[in-house]
């Protein structure tokens, strides 16, 4: 009799514990579902807010770049030519050339440009180029440039058309045509054998 009572009490206790566990599980499951629903409801707002912020940053960066391109000071033609001379004077290769002429050319902005014409040969190909020396009066006197005189040309490897003869810190102009050394007292030619008639053909007087 006592064993039956003990078993019934035990079963009742187990049932109560199981019911408590089921209620706790149900409660936690309901809490989890509510948290998931609230998270899903809040996430689109967070995603959209992040995308909007990134879009605004991109627009602001684009506007800043456009303003900088419009406001920045663009290099003038003289500055670009000076940069080209500096680049070739520092890294250009040397080759022998020839001064062809110096002429004046009217530019689009109304200025008169002084152009130095020269030629040179690289790899069997002849090149005729020109260089603007209008603003190089402190470096070279145009009056001393003579057509037909040899010169030294600096050109860009891989782009032989890009070349110069004069730069701020370098010049390919030469003082004059090189003169070969002459002997002070050359030996006279031996022409004695030309005076004899032994080497003349018969019938030739």
Considering the domain architecture, whether residues 150 and 95 belong to the same structural domain is answered as: yes
pTM: 0.53
pLDDT of amino acid 102: 87
Adjacent-strand bridge partners of 132: 115
Whole-number pLDDT of residue 72: 72
The pLDDT-based confidence of 191 (bands split at 50, 70, 90) is low
Q: Give the containing element (helix H, strand E) for 35.
A: helix 2-71
**Strand-pair partners of 47:** none
Mean pLDDT of 149-176: 90
**Are residue 7 and residue 58 in the same domain, yes or no?**
yes
The parent domain of residue 53 ranges over 1-72
Nearest-angstrom CA–CA distance, 200 and 194: 10
Is residue 5's pLDDT more than 50? no
Are residue 102 and residue 132 in the same domain, yes or no? Answer: yes
pLDDT band for position 153 (cuts 50, 70, 90): very high
Query: Residue 125 maps to which CATH number?
Result: 2.40.50
Place of tokens 């770049």: 65
Average pLDDT, the chain: 75
Does residue 170 lie within any of the structural domains? no
Q: What is the pLDDT of residue 152?
A: 94
The count of other CB atoms within 10 Å of the CB of residue 130 is 17
Residue 173 resides in a domain? no
CB-CB contact of 102 with 115 (8 Å): yes
Q: Are 145 and 133 in contact (CB under 8 A)?
A: no
Residue 187 in domain: no
Determine the pLDDT at residue 98.
94
Give me the pLDDT at residue 161, please.
94
Q: Coil, helix or strand for 88?
A: helix
CB 100 within 8 A of CB 118: yes
Q: Are residues 128 and 145 in the same domain?
A: yes
Is residue 42 located within the same domain as residue 85?
no
Domain assignment present for 203: no
pLDDT score recorded for residue 91: 92
Three-state DSSP class for 96? Answer: strand
Please indicate, yes or no, whether residues 113 and 91 belong to a single structural domain of this protein: yes
- What pLDDT does 6 receive? 44
pLDDT of residue 168 exceeding 60, the answer is yes
Percentage with pLDDT > 70 across the chain: 60
Query: Are both 26 and 94 inside the same structural domain?
Result: no
38: in domain: yes
Q: Tens digits of per-residue pLDDT, 114-143?
A: 899 999 999 999 999 999 988 887 888 777
Instruction: Tell me 167's DSSP state.
Output: -
End position of a domain, from candidates 57, 72, 87: 72
* Full DSSP string of 115-155: EEEEEEEETTEEEEEEEE-TT-TTT--GGG--TT-EEEEEE
Q: Which has the higher per-residue pLDDT, 195 or 12?
A: 195
For residue 181, give both structure tokens.
Answer: 């050394």
**144 and 84 in one domain?**
yes
Q: State whether 128 and 58 are in the same domain.
A: no
Residues 6+ apart with CB under 8 A from 162: 84, 88, 155, 156
Whether 49 and 86 share a structural domain: no
**CA-based angle 29:32:33, to the nearest 5?**
85
In a domain, 199, yes or no: no
Q: Which of residues 44, 72, 100 is at a domain's end?
A: 72
The 10s digit of each residue's pLDDT in 13-68 is 545 545 555 565 555 555 656 655 665 555 555 556 677 778 888 888 888 888 87
One domain for residues 33 and 82:
no
Residue the block writes with tokens 């627009």: 59
Residue linked to tokens 């064993």: 3
**Residue located via tokens 């004059």:** 176
- Please check whether residue 4 lies inside any domain of the structure: yes
Question: Do 89 and 167 form a contact (C-beta atoms < 8 A)?
Answer: yes
Co-location of 81 and 160 in the same domain: yes
Domain count, the chain: 2
Residue 136 within a domain = yes
């Amino acid at each position: 009799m006592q064993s039956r009572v003990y078993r019934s009490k035990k079963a009742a206790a187990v049932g109560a514990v199981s019911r408590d566990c089921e209620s706790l599980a149900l409660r936690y499951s309901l809490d989890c579902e509510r948290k998931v629903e609230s998270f899903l409801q809040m996430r689109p707002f967070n995603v959209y807010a992040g995308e909007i912020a990134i879009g605004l940053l991109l627009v602001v960066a684009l506007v800043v770049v456009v303003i900088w391109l419009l406001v920045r000071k663009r290099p003038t033609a003289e500055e670009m030519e000076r940069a080209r001379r500096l680049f070739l004077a520092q890294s250009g290769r040397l080759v022998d050339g020839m001064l062809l002429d110096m002429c004046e050319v009217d530019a689009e902005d109304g200025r008169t440009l002084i152009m130095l014409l020269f030629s040179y040969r690289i790899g069997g190909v002849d090149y005729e180029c020109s260089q603007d020396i209008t603003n190089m009066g402190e470096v070279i006197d145009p009056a001393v440039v003579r057509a037909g005189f040899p010169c030294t040309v600096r050109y860009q490897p891989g782009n032989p058309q890009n070349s110069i003869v004069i730069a701020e810190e370098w010049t390919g102009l030469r003082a004059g045509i090189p003169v070969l050394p002459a002997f002070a007292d050359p030996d006279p030619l031996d022409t004695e054998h030309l005076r004899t008639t032994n080497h003349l053909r018969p019938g030739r007087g």
